[in-house]
Amino acid sequence: MEPIVLSNSLIKHKLAILRDKRTGTKEFREIIGEIASLLCYKALENAELQKTEIETPICKTEVEKLDENKYVFVPILRAGTGMLDGLIKVIPNAKIGHIGLYRNEKTLKPVKYYYKMPSNIQDREVIVLDPMLATGGSAIDAISMLKEDGAKKIKFLSIISAPEGIKKLSEVHPDVQLYTACIDKSLNDVGYIVPGLGDAGDRIFGTK
């Protein structure tokens, strides 16, 4: 699928703050959550709704609501957890799974160290979170694990994506829709997105 880029003036403004190396941990973390919320709204704009009757202060009326329990948010550790607060604000009753991957600095390949999902993953819509889609290795491996576990409907949310990662993800998992706030120029020789914003995990957690 072609990536869906959520681009408007406010997001461009927020991305400019994220990219600035002078932006502190608190502000960086908050903006990651804000953009994640906006990506979630976009990803669920055509979500299936269920009709139900409620009573307003004026009268009874029929409304349409999400079944929040059918959604699972899956951050790829550790940077993906920086997006989680933003999504929980949108769908507070969603289930949460975790996939632990880290990148081997020599091979640039993802290495798995943790996997934990809620039950009945095959009956839920899974939304995978990672601020940076760079080489695509972690995204591809995470989605492959979810499919092996029975997940059938998967979406991927990233703040910034590289063309190389988008290409690989679409080749291996063409059924997974990508939602991103920006597509950057390229990767450098050590696998970082250019111009990018540095290591998202380090900046979210203040570890550098």
Catalytic residue among 141, 199, 203, 207: 199
Clarify whether 202 is annotated catalytic.
yes
Give the DSSP letter of residue 92. Answer: T
Clarify whether 103 is annotated catalytic.
yes
Beta strand spans in the chain (E): 4-5, 50-55, 60-65, 71-77, 95-96, 98-103, 110-116, 125-129, 132-133, 153-161, 177-183, 186-187, 193-194
Contacting residues for 165 by C-beta, under 8 A, at least 6 apart = 133, 134, 135, 136, 139, 187
Per-residue burial over 166-201, b if 16 or more Cβ lie within 10 Å, else e, is bebbbeebeebbbbbbbbbeebeeeebbeebbbebb
Alpha-carbon distance of 208 to 203, in angstroms, equals: 7
Catalytic residue among 20, 123, 202, 207: 202
Catalytic residue among 19, 29, 78, 103: 103
Catalytic residue among 52, 56, 61, 107: 107
Catalytic annotation, residues = 103, 107, 199, 202
